[in-house]
Amino acid sequence: MADCSDPKIDEAYQDVRSDKTDTNWCLIDYESDRSDKLALTSTGSGGLEELREKLDDSKASYAYVRVQYSNDKESTREKFILIVWIGPNCKVMRKAKISVHSADVKSVFRVFSIEVPAREKDDLKQEPIVVRLRKAGGASYDGV
Q: What is the CA radius of gyration of the chain?
A: 15
Give me the sign of the Cα torsion angle 40, 44, 47, 51. Answer: negative
Cα separation, 144 vs 131, whole angstroms: 8
What pLDDT, in 10s, does the model give residues 115-142?
A: 999 999 999 999 999 999 988 876 666 5
Alpha carbon distance 64, 13 (integer Å): 7
Q: What is the pLDDT of residues 48-66, one digit of tens each?
A: 999 999 999 999 999 999 9
Question: Over 53-95, what HEC string results?
Answer: HHCCCCCEEEEEEEEEEECCCCCEEEEEEEEEEECCCCCHHHH
Predicted confidence (pLDDT) per residue in 30-47, tens digit: 999 889 999 999 999 999
Domains of the chain from N-terminus onward: 7-136 (3.40.20.10)
Pairing of strands 38-44, 60-70: unpaired
